[in-house]
Chains A and B, each alone.
Chain A
Amino acid sequence: MNPALQGLTFIIIGVGGCIGYFYFSNVVLDKVIFPARGPKAGRNINRANMIRPWLFLFPALLALGLYLAYPVFETLRLSLTERLPGGQSRWVGLANYQQMLGEPKFMEALRNNMMWLIVVPALSTAFGLLAAQLTDRIRWGNVAKSIVFMPMAISFVGAAVIFKLVYDARPINAEQIGILNAIYLSLGGEAPINWLTVPFWNNFFLMAVLVWIQTGFAMVILSAALRGIPEETVEAAIVDGANPFQIFFKIKVPQIMGTIVVVWTTITIVVLKVFDIVYAMTNGQWETQVLANYMYDKLFRANDWGVGSASAMVIMLLVTPILVWNVYNARKEMR
């Protein structure tokens, strides 16, 4: 069957199935199991209303449980076992973790990920804050915002191609087509540099891609937060003779600290999952490995599910503090 028709069929079955499920399960509940008539009408209505939320929730809970909650535990189990030929597996305890910790590629990925975790959220948030503050004060601010926000729509792979062109290097006597090398040479650089193959520093050139993408996100949210600041506090500071920098750093930033933290943590999560950029640009060569790509290597190239799952658990472990903090905040808000 043509994939497009298959897709259409899936939409019809999916949408029809969902609507049918929700409609008929409600009908069955109200008319067949607990009909709202006869001697027990009152009790039946109450019972039906106790069950109904679960009817509404069931498909979503199934999807959440099967596709997100179950894999966490299954991955944990896989990380503690070893796959044997013939589909069997054997309990090996922490051996996978030990093997992983002994691999230089893993330590490199861990070190790089730590740098990503510091640099990308910091720069994105800083640039985002700067852009939010500056664009709010000028007439064509909305246009500027749109442009800074635009990379959000671009795929990591698309961004990888875009930046490959930026970082491109040609031989020294040829015309440079990568803008970075063109600028570097015009500023007096001696020879064009292949930026992505310079160990250690190439990490920063990869991070620049993600910073470029995430700044728009930070800007949009921080700009809304900045606009939410009570005008009186700013006016009071002006009356007291504060200069624009003092207003920004001592009045505005402290008031939006909560939002800054939210933005920071959200970008942190994106960074932990970053895979496409490294996969498409260097594939972990020249010391640019990161955890997500390391994991992909182990799972699908080396076919080593044990170590692959163990590295996935490391990512999970790094996410956990944010998870706990988010849940804690959500509970606090609901009370």
Chain B
Amino acid sequence: MDSIAGKKPGLTWAVNLSVLAMVLLWIFPTLGLFVSSFRTGDQIVASGWWKALFPAEQIVQLRVADPDENRVERDGVFRVEGNFFLTGELTGEIQAFGVSSRDLGAHAPGEAADMGDGESLAVNADGSYVWSGSDDQISGRGQRVFVTATVPPDFSLDNYDTVLGEGVVQDLISWLVGAALVGIAGFLALRALLPAHGPVLAVGAALLYGAFALIAALRAGLVGTTPFVATGLVVVIAGAAYVLVRRAMPEAARTMAWVLGITAFAVFVTDFGVGTGVGAATASEDMAKAFMNTLTVVIPATVIPILVAAFAAYALAWMDFPGRALLIAAVVGLLVVPLQLALIPLLKLHNEVGIGKGYVGTWLAHTGFGMPLAIYLLRNYMVGLPRDIIENAKVDGATDFQIFVRIILPLSFPALASFAIFQFLWTWNDLLVALVFLIDSSGQTTVMTKQIVEILGTRGGDWEILATSAFVSIAVPLIVFFSMQRYLVRGLLAGSVK
């Protein structure tokens, strides 16, 4: 398109500028929340977050040290010396100072302000000051000084400590870096060695991965309390990793690093939840608990529907039976049925069956609500797979079950990934299903979205808590979004346009 006729440089400029305007408009709201989460409550209400990015000019009223305790006499002249920076009263860079409220910036740093009758006050750029004069003048209270200083942007992780717990963000960062390093190393090793050594190395990688998970589980304290669970966890994860690598080589090897990182992250969070989840309910623990609960809702609610839907999608795509067209039409129809309709009937059903409110009901509900999209996406993708492969396999005597597990499932990896992302985002961000099917009066089963709504209602003015909590809850989807955007886009296109 670049070389076509009829293209004017002016227009290119206009295009660039309008895109820039749009991008800024779209990123500004989120940026505000992000910046605010690093500021203290006082800073947030004192100035707009957009001003926090730049050095701000501040006028501070200070007093020099108490003369009765600090003055020193030399040749009949009394002096009080000190340093505003050292006492912590002032930060930044001193631009000007003044001794009268009528002229705040009268003097440049280093100058001496003459206050009449030989009394003078000098403030230097390094924060030190000298106040000198006669016995009468240097007495009473310390002299007032107005200092104009440029304060550099000031950000801290304090809010995250309050919301998540002391030191959690630092731990998180070191864990993520560690997991990423292991993941990248593993990925590079896999890529270099796999084509040549195949299964042997895959088993090795799986064992390594298992060992990693074991260490993580040990750290989480799972082993001490329930060794069987930890062992099971390691076996399952190692087995899954092995299957992934063997079945769907290229795509799986690439995602292996991600799985590694995310698992480490999950185990870390478990660690945190197990370690501190009990005890007095403070703001921080509520949010940490909500984080844990959200993870607990999301992971099974993402994994189960994929498996169920994949089989159904295969049947709808590649098996011939009466009523197939009708079923596909039904799935397309159910795609748009609002889940609001399902709330009361299903709540009644859950109560009658005995599940009541709780995780099991929530998982089942998410599975049901995600099913039409899952079947629709996967079927659309599977229909596009080459017919020859499937027919060849049939001729070679493969059963439908074998064809599905050995051929269709590995080939459908991109579609599986895109649905997994959709379902993950949807369940993580969900409020309504959690409100109806999960959250009971005990307060133990709250999720992040509910927690944020709660803070909005009760502590709406505490922007530092609100902004940080909200940012914690949107950080995970954002990470998933930016790392898996390719699959997300592919899934969107498969789901909407044909």
Q: Which residue of B lies closest to A268 (CB)?
A: B336
Name the one of A7, A74, A224, A235 contacting B345, with C-beta atoms under 8 angstroms.
Answer: A74
Residue of B nearest to A239 (CB): B5
Decide if A10 touches B363 in the complex (CB within 8 Å). yes
A177 shortest CB reach to chain B, Å: 5
Closest to A280 in B: B453
Interface positions, chain A 141-179, Cβ under 8 Å from B, are 141, 144, 146-166, 170, 174-179
In B186-235, the 8 Å CB interface with A consists of: 226, 229, 232-233
Specify which of A50, A64, A130, A215 lies most central, judged by the most chain B CB atoms within 10 Å of its CB.
Answer: A64
Residue B140 CB within 8 A of the other chain:
no
Number of residues in A with C-beta < 8 Å to the partner?
A: 126
List CB contacts (< 8 Å) of B304-351 with chain A: 304-305, 307-309, 311-312, 314-316, 319-321, 324-325, 327-346, 348-349
Which of chain A's residues have a CB closer than 8 A to the CB of B482? 146, 150
Stretch from B16-24, B81-89, B97-105, B251-259 that touches the partner: B16-24
Which residues, 221 to 235 on A, are CB-close (under 8 Å) to B?
A: 221, 224-225, 234-235
Stretch from B65-73, B119-127, B365-373 forming part of the interface with A: B365-373
Q: Are B371 and A10 in contact (CB under 8 A)?
A: no
- The minimal Cβ–Cβ distance linking A248 to chain B, given in whole angstroms, is 12
Expressed in whole angstroms, the Cα–Cα distance for A238 and B36 within the complex equals 49
Across the interface, name the chain B residue whose C-beta is closest to A281.
B456
- Residues on B with C-beta less than 8 A from A121 are none
- Tell me the chain B residues, 349-383 only, with Cβ under 8 Å from chain A: 349, 359-360, 363-365, 367-369, 371-372, 375
Contact of A262 among B371, B485, B497 (CB under 8 A): B497
Chain B 267-309 per-residue mask, 1 if CB under 8 angstroms from chain A, else 0: 0001001100000000000000000110111011001110111
Asked if B152 is at the interface (CB within 8 A of a chain A CB), the reply is no
Contact B22 A148 (CB under 8 A): yes
Q: Which of A68, A235, A292, A334 contacts B325 (CB 8 A)?
A: A334
| Residues 12-68 of B contacting A (Cβ, < 8 Å) | 12, 15-16, 18-20, 22-23, 26-30, 32-33, 36, 44-50
B478 at the interface (CB under 8 A from A): yes
Interface 9-residue window, one of B131-139, B174-182, B412-420, B428-436: B428-436
Of the residues B299, B477, B493, contact of A155 by C-beta under 8 Å? B477
Are A68 and B368 CB-contacts (below 8 A) given A59-B308, A160-B456, A238-B4? yes
When distances are taken between beta carbons in the complex, the residues of chain A under 8 Å from B296 are 3-4, 6-7
Task: Name the residue on B nearest A131 (C-beta).
Answer: B22
B392 within 8 A of A: no
Chain B residues contacting A269 (CB-CB under 8 Å) are 336, 338
Cβ of A131 to closest chain B Cβ, rounded Å: 6
Distance in angstroms between the alpha carbons of A26 and B332 in the assembled complex: 28
Q: Which of A22, A174, A322 has the most CB of B within 10 A?
A: A22
Give bound CA distance, A178 to B50, whole Å: 10
Stretch at the interface among B108-116, B141-149, B158-166, B465-473: B465-473
B74 at the interface (CB under 8 A from A): no
Q: How far is the CA of A158 from the CA of B413 in the complex (A)?
A: 30
A52 to B303, CA, bound (A): 24
Contact (Cβ within 8 A) B375 A60: yes
User: Is B481 part of the contact surface with A, judged by Cβ < 8 Å?
Assistant: yes
Is A259 located at the chain interface by the 8 A CB criterion?
yes
Contacts known (A63-B368, A141-B19, A161-B470); A150 close to B338, Cβ less than 8 A: no
Given contacts A147-B23, A148-B23, A153-B425, A67 and B332 within 8 Å (CB-CB): no
List residues of chain B with CB within 8 A of the CB of A225: 497
Q: Is A276 part of the contact surface with B, judged by Cβ < 8 Å?
A: yes
Closest-CB distance, A292 to chain B (whole angstroms): 6
Contact stretch, chosen from A90-98, A101-109, A187-195, A311-319: A311-319
* Additional A-B contact list (17), CB under 8 Å, known A64-B372, A239-B5: A6-B359, A8-B229, A14-B304, A52-B400, A57-B312, A70-B345, A72-B337, A72-B341, A75-B344, A131-B22, A134-B19, A138-B15, A138-B16, A157-B473, A243-B6, A279-B453, A292-B340
Provide 27 A-B residue pairs closer than 8 Å at the C-beta atoms, listed in order of the A residue.
A3-B293, A3-B296, A15-B303, A15-B307, A52-B319, A53-B321, A59-B312, A60-B309, A64-B331, A68-B372, A72-B337, A137-B15, A154-B30, A157-B473, A158-B429, A161-B470, A163-B29, A164-B456, A165-B29, A166-B28, A166-B29, A238-B4, A242-B6, A243-B6, A276-B449, A327-B329, A330-B329
Q: What residues of chain B have their CB less than 8 Å away from a CB belonging to chain A?
A: 1, 4-7, 11-12, 15-16, 18-20, 22-23, 26-30, 32-33, 36, 44-50, 226, 229, 232-233, 236, 270, 273-274, 292-293, 295-297, 299-300, 303-305, 307-309, 311-312, 314-316, 319-321, 324-325, 327-346, 348-349, 359-360, 363-365, 367-369, 371-372, 375, 399-401, 404, 425, 428-432, 435-436, 445, 449, 452-453, 456, 460, 463, 466-467, 470, 473-474, 477-478, 480-482, 485, 488-489, 492-493, 496-498
Binding site for B on A (CB under 8 A): 2-8, 10-12, 14-15, 18-19, 22-23, 26, 30, 49-50, 52-54, 56-57, 59-61, 63-64, 66-72, 74-75, 78, 127, 130-131, 134-138, 141, 144, 146-166, 170, 174-179, 182, 212, 215, 217, 220-221, 224-225, 234-235, 238-239, 241-244, 259, 262-263, 266, 269, 272-273, 275-276, 279-280, 292, 295-296, 299-300, 305, 308-309, 312-313, 315-316, 319, 322-323, 326-327, 330-331, 333-334
